[in-house]
Amino acid sequence: MPRMTMIEAIRSAMDVAMGRDDNVVVFGEDVGYFGGVFRCTQGLQQKYGRSRCFDAPISELGIVGAAVGMAAYGLKPCIEIQFADYVYPAYDQIVSEAARLRYRSNGEFTCPIVIRMPTGGGIFGGQTHSQSPEALFTHVSGLKVVVPSNPLDAKGLLIASIEDPDPVIFLEPKRLYNGPFDGHHDRPVTAWSKHELGEVPEGHFTVPLGKADIRRPGSAVTVLAYGTMVYVAQAAAEETGIDAEVIDLRTLLPLDLETIVASVKKTRRCVVVHEATLTSGFGAELVSLVQENCFYHLEAPVARVTGWDTPYPHAQEWDYFPGPKRVGEALIETMEA
């Protein structure tokens, strides 16, 4: 089986989808000839032509608005927002049009679009290239929100998202594009070519939306994470020696509540980890759901480890980034509570 980086897996997913369905189109800023700022679409224009993979003006509102119109007429746009930080001008189109089209038309129209966005920090991108805006989308009825953590899932989830009849926000942790990252920035990065999850089938396959994966089985405490934080949580568990069960949510909407509840009822403790800011982050929703569904099983308060309530700093990146030290401290405190 071939080995792929997450970039290559995402490209392969779009290639497979475009080859199977002529209605799938790919576009965005620098997506066509240049192949995207991270090269996720490299070679697609040459293979499928400029009517299937093309460059768009620097207008996120226009990119999403055009995609909504295309979807209403039967196409399946898979569009790229160059960085998740740039999506805000298009937020009204996503919330008021894409997410509502099925409902406002009583099912006469659907909006099968995928909005791909590199997300998160860890690359010294500063405050305008490092944001994690997933909570802004999980709040919106009518959207699905996906965050893969590895090449295998990235390809399967992206194909499933493209084939889904409703709009999907597909957030790609850019710190994971070339290899898993455990939060130790002073260590060499392990390439995906040396990781088991770098093995990705070449053809068509899907990973179902709404199904989490237990990345590290354990019995002492449940850790809920997604994206880059999956590897940080695994590192924290290994370094503290705590038998933590690490769950990779993969899809935030729809959420695999069944897997979460089963794990917390078993471990009786829970720590939630994400890179986005603390206040009103998606972790708050997870904490509430765990409390509502597992209250009589919990032996300690549910803890959160997140980014700080401040713009993502450039010079103090690793003070902001929720690393294994902070996650490990939360695990220890939860076990001692």
Bridge partners, 25 (sequence order): 77
Q: List C-alpha distances in Å: 8 to 5, 199, 204.
A: 5, 11, 14
Residue of 233, 230, 227, 294 whose CA lies nearest to 267: 294
Structure tokens belonging to residue 82:
């160059």
How far apart, in Å, do the first and last CA atoms of the chain sit? Answer: 46
Catalytic residue among 129, 139, 185, 297: 129
Is residue 314 part of the annotated active site? The answer reads: no
Bridge partners, 80 (sequence order): 28, 116
The CB-side HSE value for 121 (13 A sphere, CA atoms) comes to: 29
C-beta of residue 216 within 8 angstroms of C-beta of residue 194: no
Bridge partners, 114 (sequence order): 78, 168
- The sheet carrying 24-28 orders its strands as 53-55, 24-28, 76-80, 114-119, 168-173, 144-146, 251-253
How many angstroms separate the CA atoms of 267 and 76, rounded?
Answer: 42
Secondary element (H or E) of residue 91? helix 91-92
Residues labelled catalytic: 129
